[in-house]
Amino acid sequence: MLLLSPKFFAPIILLACTIAAVASVFYFILRKPNVKKMAQFFLIVMMDAFYIITVAPVFFKLRRTVDGDVSPFHGNYIPFKTITEYIMTGNKVQIFGNILITVPILFLIALSFRKLTFKKTFLISLIVTLSIEPIQLIINLVLNSSANIIDIDDLILNLIGCMMGALLAKFILSFDGKGKIKSDREAEIRAVMETK
């Protein structure tokens, strides 16, 4: 899980980035610009922010392991254990934070590559979520630190965030430039025209 100080720093930044990205996409879609290029630009920015946030906890709160007291592999490997604890203790910040961190990424990927099937979208979501914990584990091993705790529940929440982002993009793409929902036929024609 991400251990940042102050406590609410990461979720607030993630929420702000998500709102800004969604608002920008809505604005540009209504003004009929090149949505694909805009989405690709935001995607690059969000991917950079994503990995910075993933690595940043090491520098915000670094706990050195001493005489093997805390192992770099320390963490939760039981599905839904941490999520249940968060719900029981009312700590919803961690739950929403781990969901929001991946919403913008798949949201922008789905805007950039509009013909993605559900299977491909799910596969990309898995790749994105599975890349987080190994990066944190490598950091733990290299720095002999336990600042980044390995947690399988983080993967579950990140995956949910990815799928939510993809669904949000699909919903937005269902509208035309006038703010009306496009028919399936209109969507097919527009997709063909964009490939030419």
Model confidence at 50: pLDDT above 50: yes
Domain ranges of the chain: 9-195
Question: What is the pLDDT at residue 35?
Answer: 62
pLDDT band at 190 (very low <50, low <70, confident <90, very high): low
Percentage of the residues of the chain whose pLDDT score is greater than 90 = 9
Phi, psi of 179 (to 5 degrees): 80, 10
Neighbours of 25 (CB within 10 A): 21
Question: What is the pLDDT at residue 65?
Answer: 43
Model confidence at 162: pLDDT above 70: yes
Question: What is the pLDDT at residue 160?
Answer: 94
- Greater confidence (76 vs 181) lies with 76
Q: What is the Cα–Cα distance from 81 to 139, expressed in whole angstroms?
A: 24
Q: What is the Cα–Cα distance from 128 to 164, expressed in whole angstroms?
A: 14
- Greater confidence (47 vs 3) lies with 47
Strand 150-151 relative to strand 75-76, pairing: parallel
- Greater confidence (58 vs 136) lies with 136
Which tens digit of pLDDT belongs to each residue from 119-131?
A: 888 888 888 788 7
Give the residues across from 145 on adjacent strands: 64
Q: How far is CA 105 from the centre of its chain?
A: 5
